[in-house]
Amino acid sequence: MKLGELLANLGEQQWNHWVFVAETDAIDADTDCVVMDTFDVDLAEDGDTPKAIADIGYSEFLQIVDLESITENLRHQKPDFSRQDYLEAVLYYYRDDAFVQLNT
């Protein structure tokens, strides 16, 4: 699945699942991703990453609950936000571990 597709259909996901993304120089809407329940899975050598994720070379991105929080924060600031606004807010959160602050 592509990250943009996941964001467009976020409500279909379980809040406690994690999103993992393919290794890439720049994450964008076309980045391949996997959503996975990480409870009680075999872990890779690092002791943190699910083995199945490490085996395909993906890395941890965000948890679904984080994406839901980003959505609510953005909706509070800009009720009519675009997909691009949403993607930028998600990437900001991923990069800076903080909600984006819009100048509206």
Q: What is the pLDDT of residues 73-103, one digit of tens each?
A: 999 999 999 999 999 999 999 999 999 999 7
The pTM for the full model equals: 0.92
- What pLDDT shows up at residue 72? 97
Alpha carbons 34 and 62: distance in angstroms, whole number = 11
End-to-end CA distance of the chain: 32
Give, for 59, the enclosing helix (H) or strand (E): strand 58-63
- What pLDDT shows up at residue 41? 93
Alpha carbons 94 and 37: distance in angstroms, whole number = 19
Nearest Cα to Cα of residue 32 among 3, 67, 63: 3
Q: What is the pLDDT of residues 20-68, one digit of tens each?
A: 999 999 999 999 999 999 998 999 999 889 999 999 999 999 999 999 9
C-beta atoms surrounding 14 within 10 Å: 9
